Structure 1
Amino acid sequence: MTKPLDPQPNSDAPNPGIIFETLNLHQRSAALHAAIELDLFSAIARGHRTVEALTEHLKTDQRATRILCDFLVIAGFLTKDNETYGLPPVSAEFLDRASPKYVGSIAKFMNSPDLLEAFKDIAQVVRTGTTTLSRDGTTATEYAGWIEFARSMAPIMMPAAMFMADMATRERPGAVRVLDIAAGHGMFGVALARKNPQAAIVALDWAPVLEVARENAAAAGIEDRYTLLPGDAFEVDYGGPYDVVLVTNFLHHFDPATCEKGMRKIADALAPAGLVLTLEFVPDENRIEPPIGASFAFTMLGTTPKGDAYTFAEYDAMWQRVGLTKSRMVDVPNSGQRLIFTQR
């Protein structure tokens, strides 16, 4: 709930409300997931704004619909005026299926059974230092969850993809060969190819995941400049040389030694004047700010054997050890992520 319990109003005494609120946060996630699955936000956007109208339109139970809608008002996802519900700006822009910025599909991956299972026994994870998921968690060879990731997460990645495309085109204009490592949905390479009509993209990922990237490249009309490279990013021959290498949301899954193994392959495949763009959740040196970047370490704790959210100093040191000595970082607008530029 948005308002913690306050057993002692106007008092400076410690308030246990945050404990109650945090232990109940799973209910908030479940409510949002249900509303997305029911397409509740789109129904309200289309004019079904009362419990009765929503019940008839969605074919749901009246009592349950009322309780869900009121809960979503309390959580900030709906508004309520007398008995009429509405959409606040964030829901209208991102949760109405008719909006070009709709991101509701991300619930399929973020609330997938594997990811929920990963956080059921964090005490055991802390005892052992590794995920309770079978095999190697989300780093397992050809982990099936990455197919759902590729299909579900593209919309929320688009602002960062467009920003990276702008940066890459500004830094390395003209005819360039681009390697997109852990391409997933492919939208980082696709955005760059659309921004720069002289860019040729090589997308690297597991073969089943690359089918999603290929579909997105075809839909964007850049398939003739889009080549698939299926395989393990730590083992497959990259080819090269590449003028630009995109490393997006990949390195955080691994320990430093494994990261450096991949970085060395990147350095070997990079053209002399080449540029590496690393998109990551990068905390400040204190590891508690900014909240999105810093808290991502907890995501890695639950879902990977040895992953982490590394600081800029740690990334810089790893790149330097593989021969790429110049790195700088910028914040990605409208995102909790940061972009690192690295070259020789």
Structure 2
Amino acid sequence: MTQPLTPLSTRPAPLVDPRPFATGTPAARQSATAHRVYEALIAMWSTGVIEAGHDLGLFERLATGPATVPELAADLGADPRATRVLCDALVVYGVLERGDHGRFAMPADIAACLLADGLYSLAGKIFYDRTVAWDAWRGLADAVRRGPVDAHGDDQANQISDVDYEQLTGGINFWAPPIAELLAGWLRDAGWDARPGRTVLDVGCGTGIYSHLLLQAFPGATSTGLEAARIVPIADRQAGLLGVADRFTATACDFMSDPWPSGVDLALFVNIFHLQHPAAARRLLARSAAALAPDGVLCVVDHIVDREGPLDSPQDRFALLFAASMLATGGGGAHALADYDLWLAGAGLRRVALLDAPMHRVLFAARADAALPFRMDGAGR
């Protein structure tokens, strides 16, 4: 189950002091509510100052060492007073630190997130927001009126282009380490490493990061990643960087229609189902059932909503917001756990475990008639 996160310097302190609202009068309550909503409305300020730092080359400059405002302004070709304003704002959001003698510094973990060459860099996410997300969010009201359908009234698959997907796929690598650790731990508990030569089919593998981390955890396993042609070189290059190139093969294909390997031990779908409408999701699960070995396992890592619960977990809260993002950007959504169970049953599969990752849920399934040593988790989920 999910472990509490270590407090991060990037989690800013609240911007509203609640103490003056202690009187509890109607006016105080209404004002307190307005302050809370206002704080949500200005959340875009954090994006603005981070993107400005990115555009100016501030993060690349601070990666070489701390600097004063005059030094930064001179190096960036910027106004000194405005540079101080930006740096102060970035300190508020925990992106920069203010040290002695007026020098600003960037923590190493922040640098790894914001510099373009990091394995877990968010630079691709910034690019995606600039080219797709911000304009799409402005049209959310129209998307709500229209619904997630195409011109013919059919459910619409997500409309992300290959170019935008290429940028985004590297910008979400950061999700992988805790998820891969959960995957590997559950598979070990299920005896998955008792037999060498296990095979993984990573459908829509993106950069291949989940396969690569799993292959590091299981030295005898191999993985085949199915992905668009322009993404395959990225996945192959990263496999080399992570030392698993000899056991990872990326294959260019349309995974909705091209043939899949058969007899695989693990069919892995990470951040794939939220891009699909229900009919496409059912097709993918049917194809998975046909590809699995008799004792094979299906794993879906996605934003899965458990509508049978109170909807107050981090995973549910993020999934509900993510669904709004998918609606704005053109199709797909955060599907409900009950829907997955129905789709799995229709494909002759059954859910055998559900785990909580920091922002995702990890669903394991097997053949409905398989007698496997898999157990439900501690909550009976």
Decide: shared fold, TM above 0.5. yes
Contact 2:304 2:360 in 1 (8 A): yes
Contact 1:241 1:270 in 2 (8 A): yes
Counterpart-to-counterpart distance in 1, 2:66 and 2:267: 48
TM-superposed CA distance for 1:244, in Å, is 0.6
Deviations 1:144-177 (A, max 9, x none): 2111123333244333234434444554222112
Which residue does the alignment assign to 1:71?
Answer: 89
Equivalent residue for 1:209, pick from 216, 222, 231 = 231
Deviations 1:107-156 (A, max 9, x none): 33442311222111111011001389xxx988348632111123333244
Contact 1:284 1:294 in 2 (8 A): no
CA 1:196–1:327 in structure 2 vs 1: closer, same or farther (change >3 Å)?
A: same
The answer to whether structure 1 residue 150 and structure 2 residue 172 are counterparts is no
Counterpart-to-counterpart distance in 1, 2:125 and 2:159: 22
CA 1:181–1:145 in structure 2 vs 1: closer, same or farther (change >3 Å)?
A: same
The 5 A counterparts of 1:95-110 are 95=114, 103-110=121-128
CA 1:166–1:61 in structure 2 vs 1: closer, same or farther (change >3 Å)?
A: farther
Counterpart-to-counterpart distance in 2, 1:220 and 1:276: 24
Normalising by structure 1, we get a TM-score of 0.85
Same amino acid, percent of matched pairs? 25
TM-superposed CA distance for 1:309, in Å, is 1.2
CA 1:137–1:221 in structure 2 vs 1: closer, same or farther (change >3 Å)?
A: farther
Contact 2:122 2:172 in 1 (8 A): no
More displaced stretch, 58-67 vs 105-114:
105-114
Counterpart-to-counterpart distance in 2, 1:197 and 1:241: 19
Counterpart-to-counterpart distance in 1, 2:90 and 2:72: 14
Counterpart-to-counterpart distance in 2, 1:141 and 1:8: 46
| RMSD of aligned residue pairs (Cα, Å) | 3.2
The answer to whether structure 1 residue 301 and structure 2 residue 327 are counterparts is yes
Deviations 1:303-332 (A, max 9, x none): 232x22123332222212211123311112
**Given residue 161 of structure 1, which amino acid in structure 2 is its aligned partner?**
A
More displaced stretch, 165-174 vs 274-283:
165-174
The answer to whether structure 1 residue 325 and structure 2 residue 323 are counterparts is no
Contact 1:204 1:231 in 2 (8 A): yes
Equivalent residue for 1:289, pick from 297, 309, 313 = 313
Deviations 1:73-118 (A, max 9, x none): 33343344684445579646745789x7753424334423112221
Contact 1:32 1:72 in 2 (8 A): yes
Counterpart-to-counterpart distance in 1, 2:149 and 2:177: 29
CA 1:35–1:168 in structure 2 vs 1: closer, same or farther (change >3 Å)?
A: farther
Give structure 2 stretches of 5+ with no counterpart: 1-11, 368-381
